[in-house]
């Protein structure tokens, strides 16, 4: 894995945001939990399952792909988080005065902390690409696991984008029936 500090990559800001999630969500404007989405589930996944196993990969980097594959289903949490991010962003904008009152006591604001999970899934893809480059031709089993792990992570990246696109289509105010009727009437 080289110079990559796996623990820093994974833990990042979760502890800090978790403290913010402790704020009574009834006091948070908008639907309960909409600002934080499933951040707590992502944090718990890392703290209790993924991070402990991932830390063992620092000593044995050839296990990294296997680690990601063992937890493949949990990475769907990131796609859901990405899908819900625009709602969170809108609430942060609409109620910026309320959220500015939540003193974080450091250089980053809440918006920056809430962007971290979106950035993290992309960093996982880059980490796996780095590991793939470091593998030698004599490590075919490891190469296969890392490639498959990359596919899992990249699928979740695409899936998150697809969920956003589907939401955008559902919120479109153009009636599909009227659109199709206009196309058929023109004779295209």
pLDDT digits (tens, 9 = 90+) for 103-112: 556 667 778 8
Quote the CA–CA distance of 28 and 35 in Å, as a whole number.
8
Instruction: Convert the pLDDT of each residue in 28-84 to its tens digit.
Output: 555 656 888 888 889 889 889 998 998 888 888 889 999 999 999 999 999 999 998
Q: Is the pLDDT of residue 143 over 80?
A: yes
Quote the CA–CA distance of 131 and 86 in Å, as a whole number.
32
Q: Is the pLDDT of residue 13 over 50?
A: no
Instruction: Give residue 71's pLDDT.
Output: 96
* Mean pLDDT of the 176-186 span: 64
**Residue 131 tokens, joined:** 């590991």
* Mean pLDDT of the 120-135 span: 91
At residue 180 the predicted structure's pLDDT band, cuts being 50, 70 and 90, is: low
CB 70 within 8 Å of CB 53? yes
**Residue 116 tokens, joined:** 């971290």
**What percentage of the chain carries pLDDT values higher than 90?**
29
* Mean pLDDT of the 165-171 span: 78
Q: Is the pLDDT of residue 158 over 90?
A: yes
Neighbours of 83 (CB within 10 A): 20
Instruction: Give residue 77's pLDDT.
Output: 94
Q: What angle do CA 88, 48, 69 make, to 5 degrees?
A: 85
Q: Is the pLDDT of residue 113 over 70?
A: yes
Neighbours of 101 (CB within 10 A): 8
6-186 falls under which CATH superfamily?
Dbl homology (DH) domain (1.20.900.10)
Instruction: Give residue 38's pLDDT.
Output: 87
**What percentage of the chain carries pLDDT values higher than 70?**
70
> How do the domains of the chain map onto residue ranges?
6-186
Listed residue (1, 9, 5, 10) closest to 51, CA to CA = 10
CB 148 within 8 Å of CB 119? no
């Amino acid at each position: 894995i080289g110079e990559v500090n796996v623990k820093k990559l994974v833990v990042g800001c979760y502890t800090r945001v978790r403290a913010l999630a402790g704020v009574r969500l009834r006091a948070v404007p908008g639907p309960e939990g909409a600002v934080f989405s499933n951040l707590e589930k992502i944090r718990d996944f890392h703290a209790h399952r993924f991070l402990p196993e991932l830390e063992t990969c620092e000593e044995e980097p050839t296990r990294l792909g296997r680690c990601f594959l063992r937890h493949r289903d949990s990475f769907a949490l990131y796609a859901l988080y990405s899908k819900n991010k625009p709602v969170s962003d809108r609430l942060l904008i609409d109620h910026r005065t309320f959220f500015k009152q939540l003193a974080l006591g450091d250089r980053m604001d809440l918006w920056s902390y809430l962007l971290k999970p979106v950035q993290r899934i992309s960093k996982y893809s880059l980490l796996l690409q780095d590991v793939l480059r470091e593998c030698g031709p004599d490590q075919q089993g490891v190469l296969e696991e890392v490639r498959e792990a990359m596919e899992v992570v990249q699928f979740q990246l695409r899936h998150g984008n697809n969920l956003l696109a589907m939401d955008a289509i559902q919120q479109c105010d153009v009636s599909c029936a009227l659109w199709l009727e206009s196309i058929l009437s023109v004779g295209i």
